[in-house]
Amino acid sequence: MPRKIFVFFSVLTAFFLIVIATQLTLPIIKIGEVECRIDEQACPPELAQKLESIKGKSFFFSSLEAQVLNLGLNLYQLNSISKSWPTTVALKFSHKPNSYIIRTSREDQLLLIAENGLAQPISIEQNLPLIEVYNWDDAIQENHVSTDLHQLNLNLIQLLASQNIPYKNIKIYNFQQIEILLQEELIAIAQVDELEKQIVKLSIVLDELDLKAIDLQINQIDLRFKFPVLKTSH
């Protein structure tokens, strides 16, 4: 019996020594480098700067996911976290669905827009649809895109995607004049009324007509009429 008691206390002592040693040594290893990628590209400076706050946290015991989510990254979605010995943490993000970038003539700055309309200034363009807005009163209100404009932007982006129409950017002047810059400097002009029908017309024109063969000077497709009107620069 004494031998069993001795073995029991020996095992118990060894266990507590391991726990104590672990607690004393592992927290010393801190996060020293944070690697950040978004949609397979380097993260923008605004996001990378926020992630600097997790440096110095315990490499082993920090609840990194909770800490990152608490940074208020409303415009980005955390996809994965991985650790590389001894002090590197790699984070992968994606843009939240229906995100886009807007530039207004009044503010003259790039704003990243989330699906809920939240706007955040950014320093460089990202791999997202770009919409330029002109002469639109109160386009941005309290860090949000105005409801009417935001809904128009979402509808337009989704309609173009549904018809597989590639484009460079979109310029919105008002509800009656929306310019879609297509490939090879070709511009499609649309309006809010019957927007879906106009985008379908545009898809048909692009699929069925060889605009170069018709006229090398055609640079606009006006979709605001019953039938699309092809315009030249002269």
User: What residues does each domain of the chain span?
Assistant: 27-95, 100-232
| Contact between 58 and 113 (Cβ < 8 Å) | no
Is a pLDDT exceeding 60 seen at residue 79? yes
Greatest distance between any 2 Cα atoms in the chain: 106
| Contact between 99 and 127 (Cβ < 8 Å) | no
pLDDT (mean) for 125-139: 87
Q: What pLDDT, on the 0 to 100 scale, is given for residue 135?
A: 83
Query: Is the whole-model pTM more than 0.75?
Result: no
Q: What pLDDT, on the 0 to 100 scale, is given for residue 212?
A: 60
pLDDT bracket for residue 26 (50, 70, 90): very low
Give the architecture (CATH level 2) of 27-95. Roll (3.10)
Asked if the domains 27-95 and 100-232 are classified in one and the same CATH topology, the answer is: no
How far is the C-alpha of 140 from the C-alpha of 145, rounded, in Å?
5
Question: What CATH number labels 100-232?
Answer: 3.40.50.11690
